[in-house]
Amino acid sequence: DCTIGPRFISIRHLEQLYNIPCILEAYKQVLVCYPNASLDILGQGPMREQLEQYVAENHLTGVRFLGQVPNNKIYDCFANANIMLSSPKADNMPVSLLEAMNAGLLVISSRVGGVPYMIEHGKTGLLFESGNADALAQEMLWALSHPEEINQMIEQAQAEVQKYSWVNIRQQLMKLYE
């Protein structure tokens, strides 16, 4: 068990679909209570300049745009965070969420597409309605003030993510072929 600090990370392409402005708006609300918070944003895309401008205009401290990070460096970035934020408008099965769960981060994501099949709200992570920055901020603040519950969710998520391991997937595939 560890203390959950206000160290956030987002790993998505910086485009409309992944709704990074929702994360920044929620982060802005969290900064009021946690002025020492940090948010690392990994990824590139057409919205980067607009997002950097929003951060500057709103004086959002602790935000770093790290650009495209090689796959072999992702877990180094996870080591500097406690909570993974994801706010897509639509998604299927984002591997970045599985990687974050495996790395021992709490995942807070919008409830879209296949995400609710990956994350059970209140058991293996937290979900909010897509586009609702206030709801995301509430989940972030709740997580920071409930470390025992969050540590239980992280443990559950790490156990749950094992079903996506190659060993388990291979066994399921073999049963189908047989």
Question: What is the reported pLDDT for 163?
Answer: 86
Q: Which residue has the tokens 């408008």?
A: 89
- Angstrom distance (rounded) from CA 129 to CA 136: 8
Least Cα distance to 140 among 87, 67, 72 occurs for: 87
- 170 or 70, higher pLDDT: 70
Question: What is the reported pLDDT for 170?
Answer: 79
Structural tokens at position 55: 């951060």
* Total Cβ atoms within 10 A of residue 169: 11
* pTM of this structure: 0.93
Question: What is the reported pLDDT for 167?
Answer: 81
- Angstrom distance (rounded) from CA 97 to CA 116: 12
- Angstrom distance (rounded) from CA 177 to CA 142: 45
Grade residue 166 by pLDDT with cuts at 50, 70 and 90.
confident
Residue-wise pLDDT tens digits, 7-57: 999 999 999 999 999 999 999 999 999 999 999 999 999 999 999 999 999
Question: What is the reported pLDDT for 88?
Answer: 97
pLDDT at 2 over 80: no
Residue-wise pLDDT tens digits, 56-73: 999 999 999 999 999 999
**Burial class of residue 151, CB neighbours in 10 A (0-12, 13-18, 19+):** middle
What is the secondary structure of the chain as a DSSP string?
-----SEEEEES-SSGGG-HHHHHHHHHHHHHH-TT-EEEEE---TTHHHHHHHHHHTT-TTEEEEE---GGGHHHHHTT-SEEEE--SS-S--HHHHHHHHTT-EEEEE--TTHHHH--BTTTBEEE-TT-HHHHHHHHHHHHH-HHHHHHHHHHHHHHGGGGSHHHHHHHHHHHH-
Q: Are 123 and 116 in contact (CB under 8 A)?
A: no
Q: Are 151 and 1 in contact (CB under 8 A)?
A: yes
Question: What is the reported pLDDT for 8?
Answer: 98
